Structure 1
Amino acid sequence: MRIWRFVIAAFSCCMLHGFDAETAKIIQTYRTTGLQNTAKLLDTYLQDKAFWLQILQERDTEYGYFERYKYLFISDKSLPNLMLYTISPNGKLELVKEVSALVGKGKGNKRLSGDLTTPIGVYDFTDKLTKLPPYYGPLAYTTDYPNNYDRSLKKTGYGIWIHGLPLDGNREELNTKGCIAIDNNVLSDFGKLVDYRQALLISYEQKIHKPSKDELAQILAQLYGWRAAWLANDLERYLGFYSREFARPNGMKYNAFASYKRQVFAKNEEKVINFSDISVVPYPNEEHRQMFRISFTQDYRAYKNGKSSYTSSSYKILYVIYENGDMRIVSEQ
């Protein structure tokens, strides 16, 4: 049934543009060889930048491509400020409010616990806290700093929040210990609107790379190229999507990772891998490299001799560098 829904959705999309050559090719494949081969044909379109350019055409993409998220916080710590956008289902961004903020006094990226620096990067929120000590204002959104990329770089620290100002109005410090602090009334308004589970924070200093639609389309196509290599047990092509700088939070480097994957691929299992809720956003960094964070829900099933050998459903994040039109994974969750 999953394949059948996939075919109908693709066919409906094609019908909007009439029976062109590609539409006819899909229908003819279905007519002569059935659903399985039609699904394989549709998978090739997912690896085609032209397909993704069509998807991105009417979307606002200055901060990336969003399927999962409905709210986006953006902070330039050099000002410092905090902006909140809503993200519509069709990818339109609407600025709710921009407000001045307090941040840590440290410059550049956070590296160590206690360095009084606000991180640069992209972060999910893990909770919305109320009934806090009055110092933090009416509420706080907690982030997942250090994320997996931070931990792969051996960064430390904790408790990076978006919070308010002391409820008694008595705050002498002009900086935080690394958090982002804003006006209590504005924060209370945000608290009524924002579901932290559907929100993302991008924090940067002075400059952020705003991706082109061409870049995002290429990355999305290559994401599905990585998936295709995985499905086909094509180890060399699969590893070709990884940077030699690759490191996992547990310390595993590229060579150890490649050896581990060689053992897994040697099982020659059949796989079903589906991605949903995909988001691709620029990842600010001190080196000013073109980096992106790709997040998605991954449903994975493996079979050996027709029997299920492994099943999982997980939220996955890839941190990638993008150079000369190619993405290379430098860390993953």
Structure 2
Amino acid sequence: MIKKIFSVLVASALGVGIENNLTEIIQNYRYHGIESTQKILEKMLTKEKFWLEALQNQDTDFGYYEGTHFLFLSDKNTTELFLYRIENGHLTQLNKVSTIVGIGEGAKKIEGDKITPIGVYSFVDRLDKLDQYYGPMAFVTNYPNIYDRILKRTGSGIWLHGLPLNGNREEKNTKGCIAVENNIIHDFNKTINYEKTLLISYENSFPKVEKSDLAAILAMLYRWKEAWSNNDIKTYLSFYDAGFRKSDGMALKRFSEYKTRIFAKKEDKHISFSYIDISPYPNVENKKLFRVSFIQHYKAYKNKAVTYTSNDSKELYVEIKNNSPLIMIEK
């Protein structure tokens, strides 16, 4: 991340004139060393201005991706499916195909309603040797995701799969899955790494993504981390919405009490993020919602001895309210 920040700073200095920032960082390194310089870099990560500069030449119409390599966009209304490759912040459309989707409009709500979900989903498995009805293979989504479960949506087995091997497919809809021609599902299998692929399913129109929203979320993420690292419980909790829910259903009051006890230990912490992905989240609640995922590297110390360490996948659902991002759900 530090090398990436330096490259952005150098490019910016050459292009739009932030030479003063670059000079300050280099001089600080000369006089005070790498630890002091790292603090300056970490502070820059909390600034929306930095992130707007970093995002300037990236394709962000469908979000911001460091860990995702492929992106499916499924339009339930037109029954079209788009496949994009993501490389260094740039998108390349690899395919556009027709699909069969579930009956019914809006988001899937309950088991058996045969509606294709709306939202952002990862793929958790690849299956073959299925009942011939599902074609030669299927990619399994993680429906219901955290957002669905918080809203008490039920159901399972939402797949991207092929068509019946016997050629008998009279239904013009699925049981909530997305179905494509068998040669297409074979092509997908050759192209994607399903573990680094996301599916965004939407209806009628794709949520508009502004670079300013992405910059606000990225800067918020690092301010949240800064408050956490500094045991600043008041600032830390200010990033959470009043209606916040933990993935296990814990509401804000109990979550605040729990975090207050943890922060009161006054442990030293080292926290870093990698593979940050930010996806616009289509929803029928008309929220300006984003799914934010990343790998969180965490170490806590007391009297220089390690008390806790983890490297976990984190998932946040962040809503933009009055131009400010707030955490609605956390896993």
Secondary structure, counterpart of 1:106 in structure 2? coil
User: Shift of the alpha carbon at 1:28?
Assistant: 2.4
Listed as ranges, the gaps of 5+ residues in structure 2 are: none
CA distance in 2, matches of 1:208, 1:10: 31
Deviates more, 1:294-303 or 1:53-62: 53-62
Matched to 1:298, the amino acid is: Q
Give the structure with the higher percent strand: 2
Cα distance, 1:272 vs structure 2 = 0.5
Q: Which residue of 2 aligns with 1:322?
A: 320
CA separation in 1, counterparts of 2:308 and 2:127? 37
Distance of aligned partners of 1:295 and 1:42 in 2 relative to their CA distance in 1, 3 Å threshold: same
Q: Which runs of 4+ in 1 moved over 4 A?
A: 8-13
Which of 104, 110, 113 is matched with 2:111 structurally?
113
C-alpha distance in 2, partners of 1:150/1:105? 19
What's the counterpart of residue 14 of structure 1?
Answer: 9
For the residues of structure 2 that align with 1:11 and 1:96, how far apart are their CA atoms?
32
Per-residue CA distance 1:2-32 (angstroms, 9 max, x = gap): xxx83x6544543443581111211222233
CA deviation after TM superposition for structure 1 residue 236, in Å: 1.1
| Contact kept? 1:216, 1:280, Cα under 8 Å | yes
Q: Which residue of 2 aligns with 1:219?
A: 217
* Structure 2 contact 69–197 (Cα < 8 Å) conserved: yes
**How far did 1:132 drift?**
1.2
Q: Percent identity?
A: 49
- Unpaired runs of 5+ in structure 1? none
RMSD over aligned Cα atoms:
1.5
Equivalent-residue separation in structure 2 for 1:13 and 1:207 (angstroms): 33
| 3-state DSSP of counterpart to 2:282 | coil
2:57 aligns with 58
Q: Is the 8 A contact 2:8 2:54 kept in 1?
A: no
Matches within 5 A, 1:185-204: 185-204=183-202
Partner SS state of residue 244, structure 1 = strand
Q: Do the aligned residues in 2 keep the contact of 1:72 with 1:86 (CA within 8 Å)?
A: yes
Q: Structure 1 residue 249: deviation in Å?
A: 2.9
Matching residue of 1:95: 93
Indicate the SS of the match to 1:119.
coil
Q: Deviations over 1:89-123 (max 9, x none)?
A: x2111111111111111221111111111111101
**Alpha-carbon distance change, 68 to 113 in structure 1, aligned in 2, over 3 angstroms:** same
Residue pair 1:148, 1:248 contacting (<8 A) in 2 also? no
TM-score normalised by length of structure 2: 0.95
* Counterpart Cα distance in 1 of 2:205 and 2:69: 24
In structure 1, C-alpha distance between the alignment counterparts of 2:235 and 2:288, rounded to whole Å: 22
1:245-290 deviation per Cα after TM superposition (whole angstroms, max 9, x unaligned):
1112322111111111111111111111110111111001101210
Would you say how many aligned residue pairs link Structure 1 and Structure 2? 327
Cα distance in 2, alignment partners of residues 320 and 10 from structure 1? 24
Aligned-residue offset at 1:208: 2.3
Q: How does 1:272-291 map to 2 (within 5 A)?
A: 272-291=270-289
Deviation at 1:74, TM superposition (A): 0.5
Offset from partner CA, 1:58-106 (integer Å, 9 cap, x none): 1111000111111100011112221111111x21111111111111112
Cα deviation digits, residues 108-151 of structure 1 (max 9, x gap): 11111111111111011001111111100111010011111211
